[in-house]
A and B are shown apart, each in its own frame.
Chain A
Amino acid sequence: MSKTRRAFALTAVATLGLTMSATALAQAGRDYVYVVGSSTVYPFATVVAERFGRGSEFKTPKIEATGSGGGLKLFCDGVGVDYPDIANSSRAIKQSEVDSCAANGVTEIVEVKIGYDGIVFANAIGGETMSLSRADLFLALAKEVPGEADGQLVANPHTTWADVNPDLPAIKIEVLGPPPTSGTRDAFVELAMEGGCKATPWIAALKKADKNRYKAICHTIREDGAFVEAGENDNLIVQKLQANPNAFGIFGFSFLDQNMEKVKGSLIDGVAPTFDAIADGQYPVSRPLYFYAKKAHVDVIPGLRGYLREFTSERAWGEEGYLSDRGLIPMPDAERGEVAAAVRDLTPLAIAAE
């Protein structure tokens, strides 16, 4: 009996000791860079982190894909080793986030724009090649579309692409896209749908008069089965497109780039989603990608300065850098130069907390 009992007692003590030593360790510090944020920036940030980790004496940064909003929230929670050093984001930081950062003592934030990402509207390689305008996309995918009279909205009656625009083929509208939690969805809604939505004059006029209603009209995607939320896994969308040549999918350019022989991107406003068209801004559905760094952590967290330098080096984000191989569209030379200089000097964000 005493043996078994002693074993129990020992385990209990060991457990307690383990927990306590871990707590002590956690407070001691952190010897790696901790990055959170957007799952769109994740594929690029991870490549930089790995090259940096292997090429320097520092540990490889840890990168969590939490989504842009979730990442900025963690980032703004405070200053210290328990909080992330960098937040990746597929959109610019909001005023409300700057304020909440400031409330927690995170005052000096360095904004780093890293390049552009295109969002493609693609179908299987064997399917029809489509040339769509943003207005077509809006009319095909919005929950409610403008009716006969000004100010009137009707539930989206379009079932085929020909209903939307007689020039398009009479194929049933079937679109697979990311869920509302995704940054890709946000960007698609803002850049493609809103762009098409504004083509209707009375809705464009609403933007000033009633911003909430304007957003509700332009940003709400139909829920009658024509648009299917396919989850965050873009590989899955590509597979489904292959199985159904009439279906279209919405995903990031890097997935199109990797699956060129399976899927093709539709032309939007007459421009095909190619590397060059996104780089020079002709392709309308593209967005800048960012990350935000805490100035207070530089030179406190080992490797943070080096990681910033690696990310903003020509071999990473340059015209022929390794990030462009992964589908990140580089910024023009002059802009890269400016951002790199700002990172070197750790120039904090211009917008201040209110």
Chain B
Amino acid sequence: MMNTDRTTRQKVEAGLPRRRRKEFTFKVLGIFATAVGILFLGMFFASLIGEGASAFRQTYLQLDIELSEEILAPDGELDLAYADFDGLVRTALRRELPDVSGRQERRELYRIVSIGASYQVRDLVAGNPDLVGTTQTLWVPASSTVDMLIKGNIDANVDEALRPISNKQIAWVETLREAGRLDTRFNTALFTNGDSREPELAGIKGAVMGSLYMLMVTMVLSFPIGVAAAIYLEEFAPRNRWSDLIEVNINNLAAVPSIVFGLLGLAVFINWAALPRSAPLVGGLVLTLLTLPVIIIASRAAIKAVPPSIREAALGLGASQTQVVFHHVLPLAMPGMLTGAIIGMSRALGESAPLLMIGMVAFIVDVPGSFTDPATALPVQIFLWADSPERAFAERTSAAIIVLLGFLLVMNLAAVILRKRLERKW
């Protein structure tokens, strides 16, 4: 006995270093794998924030704009559509830098201020026509090249011919800066404007509203339909070949590439049902198709997790099948269903491929005000800006990505909190 005991122990001891080594190797590999993941994530965030952080600030110029009556209302009547607001801004700029002469030089001067300045003055006058005749001191956006120069994205030391801003323009910007007439401030336009081809005026509000309308449609449709399907399949449907077939198909649908849903949406909602192109309503319908399988699968899992004892107890007290489901199973499964719905929504928020097919990849300036107005979505806006030649769009692309990630983070956080708060342990 002792002899065999010893041999077993010896055997174990002999094998121990090897087993410890294996354990150590596995640990090292695991740490390495995690580290690689974290490294890539860190690189992603670092490059994104490094590139995009500057987009949240924008360069503004301070100008004393004389709303002269001769220019705005030459015949004594103010006509906003034809009044020369550009002229007002240009006059103000010339007064600030009086030694600029010659047509060519003036044209260069006018390029340091954004066309947004004229829109700003027009809106001011439109809101309060009594201001005509007074002089207003305004902070107006600088053009995107000046903005890029101030942010250091244009190197002033390279040859003049190779950069989009001339030596003279740099000198003027310097003069304005010394006079305290140049400042970088929080870029509110990024959050209050729709899309624009002028980087300094471009904003994500239109895209955010478009995404919001779409998600509303998606939520209103896919949650009730998904939950109803899950309840039926889980609680009422007979178990036979048909229900197996349906189950397999739902699981398959969850893995179908999203562009396919876009094609389906184009064929059914636009070509057949004659719904308008580019509308958040159609986008929401397509995303509903996309999120339905996710919600059904999550809801079924949540229903399955409700212990049978609860059902049996309710049935034992005389409840009908429907009563069992709606009084007991559904309330207990709700947190899981909601979590699934939020995960599905966050997937829908990040989709751009299906929207391509239904005309939502478009240049749309006006912020959508209803479900049928033309609209884009946040990921689409990112795609469009990434493809724009103007340099200042690069940082705005990253800024839009940061905002999108922010939304996704909030949604996923909500799902986690919901699960933690409402989860029940049996």
Which residues on A are within 8 Å of B, measured CB to CB?
Answer: 1, 4-5, 8, 11-12, 14-15, 18-19, 22-23, 25-27, 32, 34, 42-43, 45-47, 49-51, 53-57, 59-60, 62-65, 82, 125, 232-235, 254-255, 257-261, 320, 326-327
A53 touching B366, Cβ below 8 Å: yes
Shortest Cβ distance from B320 into A: residue:
A1
A22 touching B372, Cβ below 8 Å: yes
Residue numbers in B under 8 Å from A254 (CB-CB): 389
**B33 interface hit (Cβ, 8 Å):** no
Which residues on B are within 8 Å of A, measured CB to CB?
Answer: 81, 107, 115, 119, 155, 158-159, 161-164, 196-198, 217, 220-221, 224, 228, 273-279, 281, 322-323, 326-327, 330, 359, 361-366, 371-372, 374, 386-391, 394
What DSSP secondary structure best describes chain B's contact surface?
Answer: loop
Compute how far the CA of A15 lies from the CA of B228 in the bound complex, rounded to whole angstroms: 15
B281 touching A50, Cβ below 8 Å: no
Query: Which of B164, B228, B366 contacts A59, CB < 8 Å?
Result: B366
Shortest Cβ distance from B284 into A: residue:
A18
Q: A57-B81, A234-B387 are in contact. Are A65 and B362 (CB under 8 A)?
A: yes
Query: Which of A1, A45, A59, A125 contacts B326, CB < 8 Å?
Result: A1
In the complex, 7 of the A-B residue pairs with CB atoms within 8 angstroms, ordered by the A residue number, are A1-B323, A8-B228, A15-B220, A45-B363, A50-B363, A62-B362, A261-B155
What DSSP secondary structure best describes chain A's contact surface?
Answer: helix
Residue numbers in B under 8 Å from A255 (CB-CB): 389
Compute how far the CA of A64 lies from the CA of B164 in the bound complex, rounded to whole angstroms: 28
Shortest Cβ distance from A261 into B: residue:
B162
Shortest Cβ distance from B119 into A: residue:
A54
Compute how far the CA of A51 lies from the CA of B330 in the bound complex, rounded to whole angstroms: 54
Q: A82-B274, A258-B164 are in contact. Are A233 and B387 (CB under 8 A)?
A: yes
Residue numbers in A under 8 Å from B391 (CB-CB): 258-259
Residue numbers in B under 8 Å from A59 (CB-CB): 366
How far apart are B127's CB and chain A's nearest CB, in angstroms?
16
Query: Which of A32, A42, A47, A235 contacts B386, CB < 8 Å?
Result: A235
B387 touching A53, Cβ below 8 Å: no
Compute how far the CA of A32 lies from the CA of B278 in the bound complex, rounded to whole angstroms: 13
A22 touching B275, Cβ below 8 Å: yes
Query: Which of A8, A11, A49 contacts B363, CB < 8 Å?
Result: A49
Residue numbers in A under 8 Å from B330 (CB-CB): 4
Residue numbers in A under 8 Å from B162 (CB-CB): 125, 260-261
Compute how far the CA of A296 lies from the CA of B107 in the bound complex, rounded to whole angstroms: 40
Shortest Cβ distance from A260 into B: residue:
B162
Residue numbers in B under 8 Å from A261 (CB-CB): 155, 158-159, 162-163
Q: A50-B365, A258-B389, A260-B161 are in contact. Are A64 and B274 (CB under 8 A)?
A: no
Residue numbers in B under 8 Å from A64 (CB-CB): 278, 359, 361-363
B364 touching A14, Cβ below 8 Å: no
A56 touching B366, Cβ below 8 Å: no
Compute how far the CA of A326 lies from the CA of B371 in the bound complex, rounded to whole angstroms: 33
How far apart are A252's CB and chain B's nearest CB, in angstroms?
8
A234 touching B389, Cβ below 8 Å: yes
Query: Which of B81, B364, B371, B372 contacts A55, CB < 8 Å?
Result: B81
Query: Which of A1, A22, A54, A327 contacts B371, CB < 8 Å?
Result: A22
A43 touching B389, Cβ below 8 Å: yes
B220 touching A11, Cβ below 8 Å: yes
Residue numbers in A under 8 Å from B217 (CB-CB): 18
How far apart are A267's CB and chain B's nearest CB, in angstroms?
16
B387 touching A235, Cβ below 8 Å: yes
From A64, A125, A254, residue with most partner B Cβ within 10 Å: A64
Task: Enumerate the 4 nearest inter-chain pairs by beta-carbon distance, A residue then B residue, closest first.
Answer: A60-B365, A261-B162, A64-B362, A63-B363
Residue numbers in B under 8 Å from A55 (CB-CB): 81
